[in-house]
Amino acid sequence: MNVVRKTLFYGLVILIFVWCVFPLYWAFVSSIKPDRDLFEKNPTFIPRRITFENYVKVFKERPFHVNIKNSIIVAGVTTILSLAVGSLSAYSIARIKFRGKKIVMSLILSVSMFPQISILGSIFLILRALKLINTYTGLILPYTAMNIPLTVWVLQNFFRELPKEIEEAAFIDGASKFRTLWSIVLPMSAPGLVATGLLTFIASWNEFLFALTFMQRPNLYTVPVAIALFKGASQYEIPWGQLMAAAVVVTMPLVILVLIFQNRIIAGLSAGAMKG
């Protein structure tokens, strides 16, 4: 019976692994194939001919490096702001006793459940009135507002389970609440901060709808919008090889980051889930 369970378990793990990894592998294989090999009748999992022409074209024929810079700026600033505001809010909720705390947390969580399309028009009108369309700020503010609920929800669970004795000792020594948060609580909460920071960065990096609506100039497109609007030599041609190359370029850094910080991500998320 144990052998059957182990066989089913490892079979399921292998199936999930293939399901998750195969799209990335296929994108990489397609990106290094010549264009004429992409439409062959019997496609192969291992390319017969290898070329990096698609990667060269992505950066030579298009301002893709500018799109990457836009995404780094928007996602990076959004992550910093979300962690800054979210950590303060989460620490207050975790440590200060007040009536209606559960209601507040429910409201914070419910904000993240709104479909983007339902608030797109209202946000566009507000940003247009503030003259923030086609600006980094016009994209960073909605991204931050959308990511703060997740940041607060995860971090308050993490802060709540930290030992209060250390904070009380800091108060006795004359440290203010902000100094205690900055010097003691945040360093102890590194796994939670890394986990929420990476989740925020990835969500902002991959967001498409707001970026497509609020950034209407090609030199301000973020990576998802730029890839979606790739055009071939003619109006009806889709440059699949370049699309795959661009997808690999923007996906691999995220994969590497997750692999590097996977232990902290697991520690942060599991601590918030189990102790919350």
The whole-number average pLDDT for the span 101-120 is 82
pLDDT (tens digit, 9 = 90+) per residue, 219-264? 999 999 999 888 766 667 788 889 999 999 998 888 888 888 777 6
The whole-number average pLDDT for the span 100-120 is 82
The whole-number average pLDDT for the span 177-196 is 83
In the predicted model, is pLDDT for residue 107 greater than 80? yes
Structure tokens belonging to residue 176: 């203010």
In the predicted model, is pLDDT for residue 274 greater than 60? no
What is the pLDDT at residue 189?
81
Q: How far apart are CA 124 and CA 232, in angstroms?
A: 30
DSSP string computed for 120-188: HHHHHHHHHHTT-TTSHHHHHHHHHHHHHHHHHHHHHHHHHTS-HHHHHHHHHTT--HHHHIIIIIHHH
pLDDT averaged over the chain? 85
% of the chain residues with pLDDT over 70:
93
In the predicted model, is pLDDT for residue 77 greater than 80? yes
Structure tokens belonging to residue 174: 């004359």
Residue ranges, comma separated, of all CATH 1.10.3720.10 domains in the chain are: 61-275
In the predicted model, is pLDDT for residue 57 greater than 60? yes
The whole-number average pLDDT for the span 176-202 is 84
Q: What's the Cα-to-Cα distance from 21 to each of 8, 16, 206, 265, rounded to whole Å?
A: 20, 9, 18, 19
In the predicted model, is pLDDT for residue 129 greater than 50? yes
Superfamily (CATH) of domain 61-275: MetI-like (1.10.3720.10)
The whole-number average pLDDT for the span 3-27 is 88
